[in-house]
Amino acid sequence: MGYAKTNRLAHHLVPERTVNRMIRTNTELLEAKITQSGKKKTYLAEKCGLSLAGFRNCCVNKAEFKASHIQILCRELNITSLREKEAIFFDRDDA
């Protein structure tokens, strides 16, 4: 089985057969919430315990946010609606 690269580290590789069905972050909605909050990506990355590069990779779907990251981001970005949380962090790529 081949692997799709998502990061240089082996534990961040996703098997190719699951790439098409991966749960994705809706980058546009997330970027809008970050802008609306006025918080910097460096601050949010630090709160999540990620490097800025790691945070950006999650934002553009080169890596996936962990549940703990999503919880922190919802708190920091004032995402209280389950519908909004799902729209941003659980955007299914079923196309």
pLDDT tens, position by position, 35-81: 999 999 999 999 999 999 999 999 999 999 999 999 999 999 999 99
Residue 10 domain-assigned (yes or no)? no
45 within 8 A of 55, measured Cβ to Cβ: yes
Residue 14 domain-assigned (yes or no)? no
In the structure encoding, which two tokens stand for residue 93, read together? 């790529």
CB neighbourhood size of 18 (10 A): 9
pTM here is 0.75
Measured CA to CA, the distance from residue 34 to residue 57 in angstroms comes to 15
Residue 69 domain-assigned (yes or no)? yes
Residue 9 domain-assigned (yes or no)? no
What is the structure's pLDDT at 76?
98
Residue 6 domain-assigned (yes or no)? no
Domain that residue 60 falls in: 23-92
Q: How many domains in the chain?
A: 1
Contacts of 8 (CB under 8 A, 6+ apart): none
Measured CA to CA, the distance from residue 59 to residue 69 in angstroms comes to 11
Residue 81 domain-assigned (yes or no)? yes
Q: Among all chains, which residue has been given the structure tokens 């534990």? A: 11
